[in-house]
Amino acid sequence: MIEDSNELNQERTAIRPIILADDWVIRFYGSFIRRLLVSLTGGAYTAALVGPEGQDTHNVLHPSVEHILHPEIRCWPLAYKNRPILLDKLVHFKPTLLHSFWPGDRKLAQFLSEALELPVVTTVFEAVSLKAARQFSDTMIFVASSEPIYQSLIAAGIQPDRIVRVPLGTFVDEATVCFDQPGQMPSMVICETLVNALDYEPLFLACRHLLADGFDFSVAVMGEGVAEQAIRKLIKRLGLTLAITVVPPLRPVRPVLAGMDIFLHLKDRKRCNLALLEAMSVGLVVAGCPDGTMGLLRDDQTAIVFDPSDEMSVYQGLKRLLSTPELARRLAENARLYLQEHHGVSGMIEGYLEVYKRAMNT
């Protein structure tokens, strides 16, 4: 027992990661980073987050985690000073490995790796092309967040011994929340960057048909982007202002999702969708297009799959869920149990600790 304790203490001393996250990574994968940091510090490991200032960053941080601000200087003519400032701070922190992300700040990760002679672990959130793979260091260890991402890394020419599969983890609730209050008006939610108003027109037209059929429900379009005003105008033009609302993105999103019934997955962005993972983990039923990156949605098993560009396909899919709440709850329960078995946080953390040790021993 004493030998095991000494070995664990040596491991904790040896593993001192810096988590390098830019604005984009913190915005879309903040809950993943927080779970990783909380688990590491809870296990008596020392970790630091290198990233920007802002509310999203504060949502990620944990009291035991050191935050190293980067970039510190936002004024473009003086931006060249940011790297030397960061390097000086990291020398004092004495990290033993660097954890970066793809997509993310690849050039900064490479600079720090070379300057500090640190091994690099890179979590990959979307499929990697052959062109992108040419930019990676030959010593980098990759963590594929799903099987499709793993296959894309292999196809891009990354050697299998440099890739480890660690599925994204989430905390799975003990109960399914969708349609759990009989008589309560059903609610749907979309979590998306608002890029093109035309993406939402089939859904809105389907909602108008459902309202005409006598169904009562509300839809929250949670997001922001260049198409926000066009989407608001489309909602008004179709006479749907009482049923559909556009709201700014709320983070953390999990408490918001826990009060909904149906999660609408209208666009496969070809990257891991944490909002989808969170929705399934709290027990929402998912309806929408297939998820080709994480592979979580299977029609009539863990979700209702429809063609989001086809008004009638959307209408028929949503009508099934609104007409038969017991079907919605069965699908949500299947999805929740699947995540419980394959996407737990403890398994994810164990996987990352093994990757860290492997990177340091390479």
Q: What number of other Cβ atoms are within 10 A of residue 242's Cβ?
A: 9
Amino acid letter at 135? Q
Tell me the two tokens of residue 66. 């050191």
User: How distant, in Å, are the alpha carbons of 145, 150, 151, 152 from that of 293?
Assistant: 9, 10, 11, 10
Least confident interval from 75-84, 156-165, 324-333:
75-84
State the pLDDT at residue 58. Answer: 86
- How many percent of the chain have pLDDT more than 90? 79
pTM (2 d.p.)? 0.91
Over its C-alpha atoms, the chain yields an Rg (Å, rounded) of 22
**pLDDT tens, 177-206?**
999 988 899 999 999 999 999 999 999 999
pLDDT classification of 119: cutoffs 50, 70, 90? very high
> Pick from 262, 194, 266: which is nearest to 234 by CA?
194
**Averaged over 292-317, what is the pLDDT?**
96
CA distance 158 to 151: 10
Pairing status of strand 218-222 against strand 187-191: parallel
25: left (phi over 0), alpha (psi -120 to 50) or beta: alpha
**Averaged over 272-282, what is the pLDDT?**
95
**pLDDT tens, 45-97?**
999 999 999 888 888 888 888 999 999 988 888 888 999 999 999 999 999 99
Backbone angles phi, psi at 163, to 5 degrees: -125, 135
Spell out the long-range contacts of 141-150 with Cβ–Cβ below 8 A and sequence spacing 24 or more. Answer: 141/355, 141/358, 141/359, 141/362, 142/102, 143/351, 143/352, 143/355, 145/272, 145/294, 146/272, 146/293, 146/294, 146/295, 147/295, 148/292, 148/293, 148/294, 148/295, 149/124, 149/125, 149/272, 149/293
State the pLDDT at residue 151. Answer: 95
Amino acid letter at 202? P
pLDDT score of 343 more than 70? yes
pLDDT classification of 250: cutoffs 50, 70, 90? confident
**pLDDT tens, 218-238?**
999 999 999 999 999 999 999
State the pLDDT at residue 62. Answer: 80
State the pLDDT at residue 166. Answer: 97
Which CATH code is given to the segment(s) 2-168+344-360?
3.40.50.2000
Tell me the two tokens of residue 89. 């701070």
Backbone angles phi, psi at 221, to 5 degrees: -95, 100
For the chain, strand residue ranges (E) read 17-20, 48-51, 66-69, 97-102, 120-124, 141-144, 163-165, 187-191, 218-222, 244-247, 262-265, 285-288, 303-305
Amino acid letter at 347? G
pLDDT score of 7 more than 80? no
pLDDT score of 10 more than 80? no
What is the distance between the terminal CA atoms of the chain, rounded to a whole angstrom?
28
State the pLDDT at residue 5. Answer: 58
Which CATH superfamily hosts domain 187-342?
A: Glycogen Phosphorylase B; (3.40.50.2000)
Q: What number of other Cβ atoms are within 10 A of residue 176's Cβ?
A: 21
Q: What number of other Cβ atoms are within 10 A of residue 39's Cβ?
A: 20
Helix (H) or strand (E) holding 330: helix 325-342
**Averaged over 291-306, what is the pLDDT?**
95
Backbone angles phi, psi at 276, to 5 degrees: -65, -45
State the pLDDT at residue 9. Answer: 65
State the pLDDT at residue 4. Answer: 58
Q: What number of other Cβ atoms are within 10 A of residue 346's Cβ?
A: 10
Q: What residue spans in the chain does CATH classification 3.40.50.2000 cover?
A: 2-168+344-360, 187-342
State the pLDDT at residue 248. Answer: 93
Backbone angles phi, psi at 106, to 5 degrees: -65, -40
